[in-house]
Amino acid sequence: MKQALETISLKTEGPGFTDVTQEIAGRLMEVGVGTGLLTLFLRHTSASLTIQENADPAVQRDLLETLEALAPRDRRWHHASEGPDDMPAHVKTMLTDCALTIPVNEGRMMLGTWQGIYLVEHRDRPRTREIVLHFLGEIGAPPERL
């Protein structure tokens, strides 16, 4: 039983979903993981992580609009000093996830067919976001490719 820990940085371009599934899968392959538990941890409070449908982009549009309706920027927020998009971003983060745990089987995340891993930006401007990847389980040499 071993563990691997690293932090990746990703750029976002304002409110929206960024599919990070392939990026994460690629890191797992480079580390050479076998079976174990993957934890993704986002080091921010105005963006979040979520696992959602990866087929129709309209799903993401509906999810964003729902979050917008739950945390409208024109509400009279007490915390308003960092701009009208900041407090809604904290609410959206609270209602979604800051961390995800995903079982891994022989190097592959056990996602369902329609599940993708998304970084969701809630602030208006482009940002650099850090995701910590922690893996606990079997780690060996990457399998040989013939």
Cβ-proximal residues to 42 (8 Å cutoff; 6+ apart), any chain: 48, 49, 98, 99, 119, 129, 130, 131, 132
Say if residues 33 and 110 touch (Cβ distance below 8 Å): no
The enclosing H or E element of 21 equals helix 21-31
Site track 78-117 with a second copy (rule: CB under 8 A), x = hit: xx-x-----x--xx-xxxxxxxxxxx-x----xxxxxx--
CA distance 66 to 3: 37
Size of the site for a second copy (CB under 8 A): 58
Per rule CB under 8 A, is residue 39 in the interface with a second copy? yes
Say if residues 49 and 42 touch (Cβ distance below 8 Å): yes
Distances (CA, A) of 63 to 25, 69, 78, 83: 24, 10, 25, 22
Choices 8-16, 18-26, 44-52; region in contact with a second copy by CB under 8 A: 44-52
CA distance 18 to 84: 22
Question: Which of 50, 73, 127, 139 is the binder for a second copy (CB under 8 A)?
Answer: 50
Question: Which of 18, 25, 77, 127 is the binder for a second copy (CB under 8 A)?
Answer: 77
Choices 8-16, 22-30, 36-44; region in contact with a second copy by CB under 8 A: 36-44
DSSP structure class, residue 32: T
- Closer Cβ to a second copy, 133 or 146, answer by number: 133
- Closer Cβ to a second copy, 18 or 90, answer by number: 90
Please give the residue ranges that form the binding site for a second copy (CB under 8 A). Answer: 1-3, 5, 7, 35-37, 39, 41-46, 50-53, 56, 58-59, 61-63, 66, 70-71, 77-79, 81, 87, 90-91, 93-103, 105, 110-115, 130, 132, 134, 136-137
